[in-house]
Amino acid sequence: MSKPFLGAHMPTAGGVHNALTSGRTIGCEVVQIFTASPRQWKANPISDETIAKFRVALDATGCRQTIAHDSYLINLAAPPDSEIIGKSRAAFRAELERAEALGLDFLVSHPGAHGGDGEETGIARLIESLDIIHAETEGFQVRTALETTAGQGTYLGGKFEHLAQIIHGVKNPERLCVCLDTCHIFAAGYDIRDTQAYEETMGLFDQIIGIDQLKVIHANDSLKKFGSHADRHAHIGDGEIGLTAFHLLVNDPRMHEKAIVVETPDAETMHEVNVKRLRDLIGADAPLPAAPVLAL
Ligand SMILES: [Zn+2]
Ligand SMILES: [Zn+2]
């Protein structure tokens, strides 16, 4: 039977290795982390001690795939003469260096915003940034997973075509792949709430980007309505998307051994519940109503 790997974005208090051990405790087969504060430019490189502890925890937990998410401040599609583009390129290179040092599989990255200069211009700037950074980090094994976005404001990534254009446009497409976020695509106007809608959206993804490029899935329900272009995550089954979509997702043979990561609020109490909700849907005949939230 085909089966995805389930997991969550885990906190790293006390060191990145703790994300693996606490992830294991709540049933994660894959773990996503921030390798530095996502709201600060300043970040320390990864020390040898940190790498060693991470490797030990990786062996001990048997975590199947490891993923980093990049800083929210980075905008690789910013204008070439802006202060932010230099900072963004340096910060993204450092993200790749930390991920590579830890031996992570994927670095999930938001494609950035064009800031009013238009999608084509933004995509061209992003491609230029990626080409420069790829040349500076030649031979790196970690792959950047460009994330679908809700298409809010001038953000790129709200259309599958954007991600296809970026992958086709860079000199080293093998350095890239895609992260599909269920909340974001739903907010961007790709429906997945029933079998027909789900198949149409996945068919479009395959036709435009290629299902082989899909390496990471963010499983988040949506607080906001379909097509709202608003990025607000809800617990699995409690939002506007509903359990049917997640039932279809975890039982989709195309998701076999792909990382499905929960990024919902209240990590400490709710990640375990949300991962279990997804796991309970695997092999289930029909989506059962979400289990009530227990007082944890
Ligand atoms: Zn996401
Ligand atoms: Zn989001």
- Once rounded to an integer, what is the mean pLDDT over residues 139-155? 98
Q: How many angstroms separate the CA atoms of 146 and 112, rounded?
A: 10
263 in a known ligand binding site: yes
Whether 296 is in a domain gets the answer no
Whether 153 is in a domain gets the answer yes
**What are 240-269's pLDDT values in tens digits?**
999 999 999 999 999 999 999 999 999 999
Whether 38 is in a domain gets the answer yes
Between the alpha carbon of residue 142 and those of residues 59, 93, 110, 171, 208, the distances in Å are: 19, 12, 16, 16, 24
Distance of CA 182 from the midpoint of ligand 2 (Å): 9
- Once rounded to an integer, what is the mean pLDDT over residues 151-162? 98
CA-nearest of 2, 66, 65 to 248 is 2
Q: How many angstroms separate the CA atoms of 107 and 100, rounded?
A: 9
pLDDT band at 294 (very low <50, low <70, confident <90, very high): low
Distance of CA 233 from the midpoint of ligand 2 (Å): 6
Active site residue 39: yes
- Once rounded to an integer, what is the mean pLDDT over residues 57-70? 98
What are the φ/ψ torsions at residue 184 (nearest 5 degrees)?
Answer: -65, -45
- What is the pLDDT at residue 124? 98
- What is the pLDDT at residue 202? 98
pLDDT band at 1 (very low <50, low <70, confident <90, very high): confident
Whether 292 is in a domain gets the answer no
Contact 106/215 with Cβ under 8 angstroms?
Answer: yes
Count of domains observed in the chain? 1
Contact 77/156 with Cβ under 8 angstroms?
Answer: yes
Contact 50/15 with Cβ under 8 angstroms?
Answer: yes
**b/e for 168-197, b at 16 or more Cβ within 10 A?**
ebbeeeebbbbbbbbbbbbbbebbbbeeeb
Active site residue 238: no
From the CB of residue 219, how many other CB atoms can be counted at a distance below 10 Å? 29
pLDDT band at 24 (very low <50, low <70, confident <90, very high): very high
Whether 139 is in a domain gets the answer yes
Whether 76 is in a domain gets the answer yes
CATH number at 56 reads: 3.20.20.150
In the predicted model, what is the mean pLDDT of the chain?
Answer: 96
- What is the pLDDT at residue 227? 98
Between the alpha carbon of residue 145 and those of residues 76, 78, 166, 173, 237, the distances in Å are: 14, 19, 11, 11, 25
Active site residue 128: no
Q: How many angstroms separate the CA atoms of 112 and 122, rounded?
A: 8
Count of residues in the chain:
296
In this predicted structure, the answer to whether residue 295 has a pLDDT above a threshold of 50 is: no
Whether 290 is in a domain gets the answer no
From the candidates 9, 24, 89, 110, give the one annotated as an active-site residue: 110
Q: How many angstroms separate the CA atoms of 179 and 96, rounded?
A: 16
Whether 288 is in a domain gets the answer no
Distance of CA 36 from the midpoint of ligand 1 (Å): 17
- Once rounded to an integer, what is the mean pLDDT over residues 217-227? 98
Ligand nearest to the CA of 261: 1
218 in a known ligand binding site: yes
- Residues with CB under 5 Å of ion ligand 1 are 181, 218
271 in a known ligand binding site: no
147 in a known ligand binding site: yes
> Which range marks the domain in which residue 46 is found?
5-281
Distance of CA 184 from the midpoint of ligand 2 (Å): 6
Residue corresponding to tokens 């950035």:
112
- What is the pLDDT at residue 290? 61
Active site residue 117: no
